Structure 1
């Protein structure tokens, strides 16, 4: 399967309009999620890891107590691609589901 090509700055900006929690920084799109507990943050990482394996597209992840930061770029394409925007949407859904299940 051919990897997608890097998006232009305008395409990235347009893609981020639907992803308000994400920002372009240092050659990647980034989002930090504050989980309700350390274990909830670890569970979010586990769920994201499962999606990453399915997509064969793996984010950079930084865990600092309850704060989990995701950085997405397609390293072998040399920039941000549609895969990164797709994975960002998946991470948003997982983060929302985790927060909703914790509120229940």
Structure 2
């Protein structure tokens, strides 16, 4: 079972994750794109990385926007190191 992170650890990690927030026991961020195709391509890239990490985000898409929420099921729906790792990966995909 994964270990939930303390509020302090999450706050410190968020200082390195631009635009991410900690709400409702999840790491969250909204991303915007030029069009629907770019938004879906981003989701597809996330899917491959999430599968590699065996950690799957909540994804929500409307036209050119993608909203992401991360928490760890086997930690009672709390934020763990797995979520921080995936958030960093998602950032690298967005900034690529």
Q: Any idea what SS the aligned residue of 1:40 has?
A: helix
- How far is 1:71 from its partner? 0.2
Q: Which residue of 2 aligns with 1:88?
A: 87
Runs of 5+ consecutive residues of structure 1 not aligned to the other structure: 98-104
Measured against aligned partners, the alpha-carbon deviations of 1:4-46 in whole angstroms (never above 9, x if no partner) come to 3000111110111100210011110001100121000000000
Greater percentage in helix: 1
* Structure 1 runs, 4 residues or longer, greater than 6 Å off: none
TM-score normalised according to structure 2 size: 0.95
Runs of 5+ consecutive residues of structure 2 not aligned to the other structure: none
CA contact (8 A) 2:71 2:79 kept: yes
TM-score normalised according to structure 1 size: 0.88
Query: In the aligned structure 1, how far is the partner of 2:50 from the partner of 2:18?
Result: 21
Q: How much is the aligned-residue C-alpha RMSD, in angstroms?
A: 0.8
Aligned residues: 95
Between structure 1 and structure 2, the one with the greater Rg is: 1
CA contact (8 A) 2:14 2:20 kept: yes
Q: Which residue of 1 aligns with 2:14?
A: 16
Measured against aligned partners, the alpha-carbon deviations of 1:32-63 in whole angstroms (never above 9, x if no partner) come to 10012100000000000000000000000000
